[in-house]
Amino acid sequence: MDLRRKLSILADAAKYDASCASSGTTRRDSLSGRGIGSTEGAICHSYAPDGRCISLLKILLTNACAFDCLYCVNRSSSNVPRARFTVAEVVDLTLDFYRRNYIEGLFLSSGIIRSPDYTMEQVVAVARTLRTEHAFRGYIHLKTIPDASPELLAEAGLYADRLSINIELPSETSLKTLAPEKDVRAIRRSMGRMRARIEEAQAEKRAPAFAPAGQSTQMIVGADGMDDRTILATSANLYGAYRLKRVYYSAFSPIPDASRLLPPEPPPLVREHRLYQADWLMRFYGFEPKEIVAEGEGNLALHMDPKLAWALRNRARFPLDVNRAEKGELLRVPGFGRTAVERIIAARRVRAVRLEDLTRLKVPLAKAMPFIVCADHRPGALLDRTDLEVRLAPKPRQLELAL
């Protein structure tokens, strides 16, 4: 099979993996005159219209797999064309694409062939060759194989900027049903090992860098019956237990010849978007997962962002005086981002903040005004209006007519 055909099969097979953002790496540069490429200021985030990162060469080493995870197009029982790159082919493609400025790095995953260790050895060999033989300074994200030996994981972290292992589904029960060969304990064990290695390298200045951009994982949304509350609780647990940099959410895509255990339709894509917003609230705004989904509800509202939905459910906590409220409280005001809150706090040290100051900070006033008091504004009865939700929820947009 020629290389072009392999590339089309193995890039297509990799598109279901959302976990490929490239933020947070340490800087490698080529100023010394050795090596090619540089991550300094050169890692940019380019996203496809569906939100997936496209700045990396994102491929599988092979889409053949011994496992039969029902939700996966590459499962052993799937009737798709198979292909496999050699280590040298992936190395050459990466260097070639990099030199042409098409990519800033490599995201490499693989189906499991022969054994987890054999597969992982191949994945590690690509990164080792790029770094040690070609002095490649671009970004490398390796998807690790959970059951692979700790030695291989340890070596992978020396060459990769980021490592990831997909947890895939939010509960052990779902994993047992849909991916019976996967062992959730092995996945968590590997995550634990990676956390320990990353922290050791961070603590010891002279230690070689180990996956400096941290570890991440992906959860498929809508393949099982698990609700958003369960998904967010699992994410919170993963962030806490393994210090993950990111949990990625990937809306389930129906696959050919799918099992009857899978839903025939994908979930609405906006569900994935709401989960990302909720995830952001947990990581940067101090929200607990159980606060984000309404009591008695399993899923996030789809028609408005989770912060606005939370504020509407908790009107008794508002209005907040932007000139007195604490930072943690201000972060909960709909429309107030982290930068705006920092600037409000800086501004109010010198004078009372007014609506025009918020406008200058690009705060969406229509969204924030019912929830705040400032020098020249009080929401009055606005906060108690029964139609407040209707007034604040984004208006549904009419779809364009197909001509």
144 touching ligand SF4, by CB under 6 A: no
Instruction: Choose which of 105, 111, 138, 334 interacts with ligand SF4 (CB under 6 A).
Output: 111
**Sequence-ordered list of residues with C-beta below 8 angstroms from that of 219, at least 6 positions apart, any chain:** 166, 167, 168, 169, 170, 231, 234, 235, 247, 248, 249, 250
**Which residue among 20, 65, 251, 304 contacts ligand SF4 (CB under 6 A)?**
65
Among 12, 67, 239, 379, binds ligand SF4 (CB under 6 A): 67
Between 80 and 361, whose beta carbon lies closer to ligand SF4? Answer: 80
Least Cβ distance, residue 79 to ligand SF4 (angstroms): 14
Per CB under 6 A, 112 contacts ligand SF4: yes
What x-and-dash track marks residues 170-209 binding ligand SF4 by CB under 6 A? ---------x------------------------------
- Options 51-59, 70-78, 115-123, 366-374: segment touching ligand SF4 (CB under 6 A): 70-78
Burial of residue 14, with CB atoms counted within 10 A of its CB: 0-12 exposed, 13-18 middle, 19 or more buried: buried
Q: Which phi and psi (to 5°) does residue 281 adopt?
A: -60, -35
Measured CA to CA, the distance from residue 369 to residue 388 in angstroms comes to 11
User: Residue 116: how many CA atoms within 13 Å on its side-chain side?
Assistant: 19
- If one asks whether residue 58 binds ligand SF4 (CB under 6 A), the answer comes out as no
Choose which of 18, 57, 72, 127 interacts with ligand SF4 (CB under 6 A).
72
Q: Which of 338, 298, 291 is nearest to 317 (CA)?
A: 291
| CA 321 – CA 374 distance, rounded (Å) | 6
CB of 153 to ligand SF4, least distance (A): 17
Q: According to the binding rule CB under 6 A, does residue 69 interact with ligand SF4?
A: yes
Among the listed ranges 65-73, 192-200, 210-218, 258-266, the one in contact with ligand SF4 (CB under 6 A) is: 65-73
Q: 39, 62, 74, 122: which one contacts ligand SF4 (CB under 6 A)? A: 74
| Closer residue to ligand SF4, CB minimum distance, 179 or 213 | 179
Q: Helix H segments across 48-203? A: 87-99, 116-128, 150-159, 172-178, 184-203
Give CA separation, 269 vs 127, 188, 338, 396, in Å.
34, 28, 26, 15
User: Of 56 and 72, which CB lies nearer to ligand SF4 in the complex structure?
Assistant: 72
Q: How far from 130 is each of 105, 118, 126, 201, 245, CA to CA, in Å?
A: 11, 19, 6, 22, 24
119/234 with CB nearer ligand SF4? 119
Give the integer Cα–Cα distance in Å for 7 and 2.
9
Segment near ligand SF4 (CB under 6 A); pick from 66-74, 271-279, 335-343, 376-384: 66-74
Query: Could you tell me which of 284, 224, 223, 341 has the C-alpha nearest to residue 292?
Result: 284
**Identity at 350, one-letter amino acid code:** V
Q: Which stretch binds ligand SF4 (CB under 6 A): 64-72, 89-97, 297-305, 375-383?
A: 64-72
**C-alpha span between 87 and 125 (Å, rounded):** 7
Provide, rounded to whole angstroms, the least separation between the CB of residue 306 and ligand SF4: 29
Q: How many amino acids of this chain bind ligand SF4 (CB under 6 A)? A: 9
| Token pair recorded at residue 369 | 């005004």
In the complex, minimum distance from the CB of residue 124 to ligand SF4, in angstroms, rounded to a whole number: 17
DSSP letter (8 states) at residue 132: I
Comparison of 82 and 354: residue with beta carbon closer to ligand SF4: 82
Does position 64 interact with ligand SF4 (CB under 6 A)? The reply is: no
* Contacts with ligand SF4, residue ranges (CB under 6 A): 65, 67, 69, 72, 74-75, 111-112, 179
